[in-house]
Amino acid sequence: MIKNRGMRHLALKVSDVDRAKDFYARVFGMKLVWQPDPDNAYLSSGCDNLALHRGDFGGDAQRLDHLGFIVPTIADVEAGYAWA
């Protein structure tokens, strides 16, 4: 098992970044932290972060782009990588 302190970051592919940004702000109270361009937005609840990336959804495309966990140390990341 890889030691971790919980999930910190989730990134989703969305078809409409502004609509998704407004949804997560209105429904979950998340705040926009950074929007470098119209295709990407980064929101936070204060302790958790959500990245929204414009994506294509043809065929078998998935909406989860990636997720991130907090790990205690770099050594734990390296041990987890070796284990996996």
Q: Say if CB 53 and CB 12 are below 8 A apart.
A: yes
Kindly tell me if the per-residue pLDDT of 43 is higher than 90: yes
- The mean per-residue pLDDT over the stretch 35-41 comes to 97
Strands 31-37 and 40-44: antiparallel
User: Domains along the chain?
Assistant: 7-83 (3.10.180.10)
The pLDDT tens digits of the residues spanning 45-73 come to: 988 899 999 987 766 656 877 878 888 89
User: Is residue 77 packed enough to be buried (19+ CB in 10 Å), middle (13-18) or exposed (0-12)?
Assistant: middle
